[in-house]
Structure 1
Amino acid sequence: MTGPLVGVRVVDLTQALSGPYCTSILADYGADVVKVEPPRGDMIRRTGPFAADDEHHDFGNVFQNANRNKRSIVLDLKTPEGRDVLIELVRSADALVENFSAGVMERLGLSYETLAEINPRLVYTSIRGFGDKRGGESPYSEWPAFDIIAQAMGGLMSITGPDADTRVRVGSGIGDTVPGLFAALGTVMALFEAKSSGKGQYVDTAMTDAVLAVSEIVVNVFDATGASPQPMGNALQGFAPFNTVRAKDGEIALGAPHDAQWAKLCTIMERPDLVVDPRFNSDNNRWINRDAVYAVVEGWVGEHTVAELVELLGGKVPLAPVLDAEAIFANPHFAIRGMLPEVDNPRTGRTSRVTGPVAKLTRTPGQVRHRAPLLGEHTAEILTEAGYDDAQQDALVGAGAACFSSEQELTKEYR
């Protein structure tokens, strides 16, 4: 095992995407992430896509990607015995991450205050749609949330789409993954501080706050002008040219909004006159006269194929072909960067691709070491590490507080 977080133990009570995404980042960089699942398992296990020959439908690709490098233990936290096991795990943990609705952990008798008394150095991280009262009680704190809710309330949807009459969510679940990123960062910062102080703390992450933080145009434009920015398709407020442009055989993304980039583009287009044209001689003037800018650029781009444009502009002016999934899987960049590592898929007997660690640490790199766990795959192993002998483990299973195998009938749910 490698990574800067080797030796850090994380108790992971998260489900769906935002929380598991957070803890997968910690696991990639070496943390021992113990995923505590209810008897029915993480709800996202049964969400596709599934391979055509996967008859089980309990190990979907979304789950595989967000839970690699983790171990799974099944505990029913509604039982006193299951709660006691969790407390034992917390005693030796460095961090706990959960994304339950507000009040669930309190009802289970596992609030931050309770766990902090047991382990004062525990870093406790939560991810909720509108945050936790400990970080500032929102009037919407009781509201449940999904990615689309966070994108809508966080402002991102207000600036996404072809026009003001057609607001759309960003195609990926960044209303989940971006909060997961912020939660992972907050957890690591709190762990760093705890090394010197010996004290843990609560890390409160709101999905809507995270979306707003990366929707900088919403804040910047309104603060400067008092007007709410509107959807502009693939353009960006204040920048031109900065858009997708149609070539002979497809589209490219092109950005040359600053003077030096614009000058290079004009040279390649063999239009040096445009550099000194008063309509185009500054960033702001090009934005004001963007219709004229695009008339010139689109006319030139439309005379070339995507391959020709890549040859002409690549390495000189910011551009990119618009790659779909098939093209990404075949592109050498992502292979060289280790962004599509292979892991085993126990339901097909083949391998699956997941996304790899983004930050490349040269001395203590993160890595995807193994696939996501089957439900309860490591229950016995983790209980043994916590000091439970075989008889005690059997008693927990008999009481319905724990499960060893993901293959048995599992029907209990949290209420």
Structure 2
Amino acid sequence: MNASTSTPIGALTGIKVLDLSRVLAGPWATQMLADLGADVIKVERPVAGDDTRHWGPPFLKDEAGNDTREASYFTACNRNKRSITVDMAHPEGQALLRQMAQEADVVVENFKVGGLAHYGLDYESLKALNPRLIYCSITGFGQDGPYAERAGYDLMVQAMCGLMSITGQADGEPGGGPLKVGVAVIDVFTGLYASNAILAALNARHHSGQGQYIDMALLDVGMAVLANQAAGFLATDKPPQRAGNIHPSLAPYQDFPTRGGNVLLAIGNDGQFARFCAAIGQEDWAQDARFATNTARVHHRAELLERMQPVMLTRSTPEWIALLEDKAVPCGPINTVAQAFDDPQVKARGIQLQLQRSAADGIHQVATVASPMRLSATPVTYRSAPPTLGQHTDEILREFGLGTDAIAQLHHQGVV
């Protein structure tokens, strides 16, 4: 579907965000703010731009179907933003950014600890110019502690926080061993936590009139999103183990081979299990003391699976879904990404969007995934496709009072 051209007032209309971040965690946070209506000015390096503009293949294709030089990675987290190129190593570039920060509500950056102090763009420097400023720093390990100076990347943190130790098949099983998640989930979660913290700080500013500093660390987030696995360790002092697709606290809650495929069963309570048993003509399983409660099923998982696995092979995946879905027994296919986008429910929800873009670079439309935030009164808007590098440089400079000659001089000096 095509994104709507209407632009109703967003929940964050009037909020200005100076986005000094790159790659994924910071841009994910600022895209969320942009989707909600904030004016996000993405500051990029002249010529090179955000690192992810070059992280390909895959690359965007032009109208003739040929690869361009723009990686699709960049488009995942930069829609609804305006791009300006500024060389912050140049004194005049630093002055420009300080001027922009004076009028901003939020700054987001993911430089190494202390990295922006050299340019007078750290929190203390900008706070002196704009006490209402909310300044969010995103680093691998936070602003203090023995690892503060280290660079941090999603894969490194997935390993360090224990996530890889609980992801993948168990040792001794085919393909066993630690495994990363197929998406940079620590970066994405950090972006989500950062945007929440920024929204909280904006609300606090309504009462205090003052901005504040936000210290976001990928490692902190990685530990936090261990969720029930961390809670289980803290309760028992026993590290959780890899178990493939089996849930450590629920049964049956996993994938099963079917006749010609696989199906996922996500039975989360005793009522669902009883309905499953009735559907397959095995009502006695739900009365068996070994299987009557979830706790019992977890303790007797091997015996339960010994009974279930032959039964699950008697039907195809579509047949299992047809049998169970109207009985409120959660089940579903294990889709590829292509199959997921072709799913009727995904289509009905309008998850895939096409955003219009200037054809100057040979790309007329950019596909994107719709925001899952659905607000009734102040809905997410899709105002613009991810920008080309420096697309809005002159426009933004004019907004900050620079005339044609001054802008031309900045271009000549290589500042922008």
CA contact (8 A) 1:12 1:98 kept: yes
Q: 2:16 aligns with which of 2, 9, 21?
A: 9
Distance 1:343 1:35 in 2: 18
2:210 alignment partner, SS class:
coil
Distance 2:350 2:105 in 1: 29
Distance 2:43 2:295 in 1: 53
Q: 1:160 aligns with which of 160, 167, 176?
A: 167
Q: Which residue of 2 aligns with 1:334?
A: 346
Matches within 5 A, 1:1-400: 1-2=7-8, 3-39=10-46, 40-48=48-56, 49-51=58-60, 53-57=65-69, 59-132=70-143, 137-164=144-171, 166-315=177-326, 316-344=328-356, 346=359, 347-400=361-414
Q: Which residue of 1 aligns with 2:3?
A: none
Q: Deviations over 1:66-124 (max 9, x none)?
A: 10110000000011100111111111111010111212111222110110111111110
CA contact (8 A) 2:60 2:68 kept: no
Structure 1: runs of 5+ lacking an equivalent: 403-415
CA contact (8 A) 1:47 1:60 kept: yes
Q: Deviations over 1:244-299 (max 9, x none)?
A: 11111211111114211111111111111111101011111100000112222222
What is the CA distance between 1:339 and its match in structure 2? 1.8
Check 1:351–1:298 CA distance in 2 against 1; reply closer, same or farther (3 A cut): farther
CA contact (8 A) 1:238 1:287 kept: yes
CA contact (8 A) 1:356 1:367 kept: no
2:322 alignment partner, SS class:
helix
CA contact (8 A) 2:59 2:68 kept: no
Is the deviation greater in 24-33 or in 388-397? 388-397
CA contact (8 A) 2:105 2:132 kept: yes
Q: Which residue of 2 aligns with 1:413?
A: none
Distance 1:245 1:344 in 2: 42
Q: Deviations over 1:358-408 (max 9, x none)?
A: 121011111322210111110000001111111111222222211xxxxxx
Distance 1:384 1:364 in 2: 29
Q: Which residue of 2 aligns with 1:412?
A: none
Check 1:379–1:51 CA distance in 2 against 1; reply closer, same or farther (3 A cut): closer
Distance 2:74 2:44 in 1: 13
Q: Deviations over 1:196-238 (max 9, x none)?
A: 2111001111111112211124312211221101111011112
Distance 2:136 2:219 in 1: 16
Distance 2:112 2:364 in 1: 36
CA RMSD of aligned residues (A): 1.5
* Normalised TM-score (structure 2): 0.92
Distance 2:133 2:60 in 1: 40
Distance 1:54 1:88 in 2: 41
Distance 1:26 1:257 in 2: 34
* Normalised TM-score (structure 1): 0.92
1:7 alignment partner, SS class:
coil
1:162 alignment partner, SS class:
coil
Is the deviation greater in 29-38 or in 294-303? 294-303
Is the deviation greater in 348-357 or in 228-237? 348-357
What is the CA distance between 1:350 and its match in structure 2? 4.7
Structure 2: runs of 5+ lacking an equivalent: 1-6
Distance 1:35 1:288 in 2: 53
**Paired letter, 1:327:** Q
**Paired letter, 2:370:** G
Distance 1:353 1:327 in 2: 17
Q: Which residue of 2 aligns with 1:410?
A: none
CA contact (8 A) 2:354 2:366 kept: yes
1:124 alignment partner, SS class:
strand
Distance 2:103 2:364 in 1: 36
**Paired letter, 1:167:** P
What is the CA distance between 1:51 and its match in structure 2? 4.3
Instruction: Indicate the percent of aligned positions where both proteins have the same amino acid.
Output: 36
**Paired letter, 1:4:** A
**Paired letter, 1:309:** W
Distance 2:234 2:67 in 1: 53
Is the deviation greater in 238-247 or in 315-324? 315-324
Q: Deviations over 1:171-215 (max 9, x none)?
A: 111021111111111111111111221110011111111122111
CA contact (8 A) 2:120 2:126 kept: no
Is the deviation greater in 113-122 or in 310-319? 310-319
Is the deviation greater in 185-194 or in 251-260? 251-260
Distance 1:367 1:312 in 2: 39
